[in-house]
């Protein structure tokens, strides 16, 4: 059976820590979509690891890890990240594999990513410039290059040259790129990568037939989904439950748990509407105390109150069986805490989260205000019952409003700072 961990709002929720905890009891940890634009930090046994394209299951020495068919992989970054975790003592031998159907992100894609952002000017998306969008674009236009093609050198060389020529015609002298240099790199990768690339359809089929315990690690989050997010301010893959099924060829009948991870407040990186954003001392508190800057880019995150309208919409799309609220401790010291429970437009309450961004830019949030727990702390508590009463009421309101049980509550960076409730705590 499989457990899926998905970001519920705009990403950066701390999915990695939950994945790290759950990895102790699984056989396989798999990434289903995205590339090294994702990023999270895990602290295990006093060692800090930064993951981008590699699955977090590498921290568990008994776990096999897969980068699935729905992913796009920048091979130089893959090897650099692998080297970094190996230097910190992780043995990755025969524990990390890449689907032969995953697409390659070239340096060429990264250069194009930057040029496309410049072209958009003030309307830029705010991408990580890791080449993810252009790689998924070439995938959709059927001009991309898959992993297996690297092992057929004449065909690989031909396809990269055609890709480079097409971009050169589009951007002219603005594109400063040497196709010979990139080809020389991949000539080497054709040998060093071979042992990592497998037929992931067979791998996943065998795993399901043997009833292997599978953990799926989603990247980004639902509101960055190419179909269900705040388009066009999204990533280029399906970050929701649909991307799990297509990106891994896993049976929907095998999905036992779908866990949505959401911060106790809301953050967003890059451009796009953000109804509950706080451009004041509250936003500054959340940003500074919460250390809200990206693992991948180092960019500061925009911060605001928890938006339950978004969470309810996310739940409707992803069908969560439980929630993990993270970073509750960052709300320590705030006298009054707000959550958005509805949107109004020209005084009329909207029925749901709108697809039309021109409407979204005009809505007003309806807030419910909670008393904070000033003078008390949630930080580093190890038992849910020991949380301040006001903090528990906050968590339980999220559960009631969303209709999804909150089974995990994060109050600090370490594994021991993940509190368990309900089924997660062994209670019916």
Question: pLDDT tens, 278-334?
Answer: 999 999 999 999 988 766 567 789 999 999 999 999 999 999 999 999 999 999 999
At residue 16, the pLDDT reads: 82
Question: pLDDT tens, 261-282?
Answer: 999 999 998 888 999 999 999 9
Could you tell me which residues are beta bridge partners of residue 44?
Answer: 47
Q: Report the catalytic residues.
A: 12, 40
Taking 70 as the threshold, does the pLDDT of residue 392 lie above it?
yes
Average pLDDT over residues 12-27: 89
| Residue 223: both structure tokens together | 């509101």
Per-position DSSP letters for 176-222, written without gaps between them: ---HHHHHHHHHHHHHHTGGGEE-HHHHHHHHHHTT--EEEE--S-G
> DSSP 3-state helix, strand, coil percentages of the chain (rounded to 5)?
40, 20, 35
Per-position DSSP letters for 63-90, written without gaps between them: -EEEE-TTBEE-HHHHHHHHHHHHHTT-
Q: What is the mean pLDDT of the chain?
A: 92
Question: pLDDT tens, 223-253?
Answer: 999 999 999 999 999 999 999 999 999 999 9
């Amino acid at each position: 059976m499989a457990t899926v961990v998905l970001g519920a709002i705009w990403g950066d929720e701390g999915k990695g820590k939950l994945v790290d905890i759950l990895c102790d009891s699984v056989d396989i940890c798999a990434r289903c979509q995205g590339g090294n634009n994702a990023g999270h930090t895990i602290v295990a046994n006093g060692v800090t690891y930064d993951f981008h394209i590699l699955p977090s299951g590498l921290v568990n020495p008994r776990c096999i890890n897969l980068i699935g068919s729905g992913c796009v992989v920048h091979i130089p970054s893959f090897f650099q990240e692998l080297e970094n975790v190996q230097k910190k003592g992780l043995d990755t031998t025969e524990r990390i594999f890449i689907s032969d159907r995953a697409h390659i992100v070239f340096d060429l894609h990264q250069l194009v990513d930057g040029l496309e952002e410049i072209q958009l000017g003030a309307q830029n998306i705010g991408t990580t410039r890791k080449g993810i969008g252009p790689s998924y674009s070439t995938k959709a236009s059927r001009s991309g290059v898959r992993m297996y093609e690297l092992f057929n050198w004449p065909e690989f060389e031909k396809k990269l040259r055609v890709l480079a020529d097409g971009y050169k015609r589009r951007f002219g002298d603005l594109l400063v790129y040497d196709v010979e240099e990139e080809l020389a790199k991949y000539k080497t990768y054709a040998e060093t990568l071979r042992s990592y690339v497998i037929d992931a359809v067979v791998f996943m089929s065998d795993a399901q037939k043997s009833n292997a315990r599978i953990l799926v690690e989603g990247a980004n989050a639902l509101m960055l989904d190419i179909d269900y997010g705040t388009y066009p301010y999204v990533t280029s893959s399906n970050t929701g439950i649909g991307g799990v099924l297509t990106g891994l060829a896993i049976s929907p009948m095998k999905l036992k748990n779908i866990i949505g991870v959401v911060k106790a407040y809301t953050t967003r990186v890059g451009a796009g509407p953000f109804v509950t954003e706080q451009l004041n001392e509250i936003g500054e508190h959340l940003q500074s105390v919460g250390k809200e800057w990206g693992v991948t880019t180092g960019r500061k995150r925009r911060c605001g109150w928890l938006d339950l309208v978004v969470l309810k919409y996310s739940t409707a799309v992803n069908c969560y069986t439980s929630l993990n609220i993270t970073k509750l401790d960052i709300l320590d010291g705030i006298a009054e805490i707000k959550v958005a429970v509805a949107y109004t437009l020209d005084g009329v309450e909207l029925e749901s989260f709108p697809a039309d961004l021109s409407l979204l830019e005009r809505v007003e949030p309806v807030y419910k205000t909670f008393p904070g727990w000033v003078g008390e702390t949630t930080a580093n508590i190890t038992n849910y019952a020991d949380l301040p009463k006001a903090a528990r009421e906050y968590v339980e309101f999220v559960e009631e409003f969303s209709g999804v049980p909150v089974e995990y509550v994060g109050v600090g960076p370490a594994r021991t700072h993940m509190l368990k409730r309900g089924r997660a705590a062994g209670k019916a």
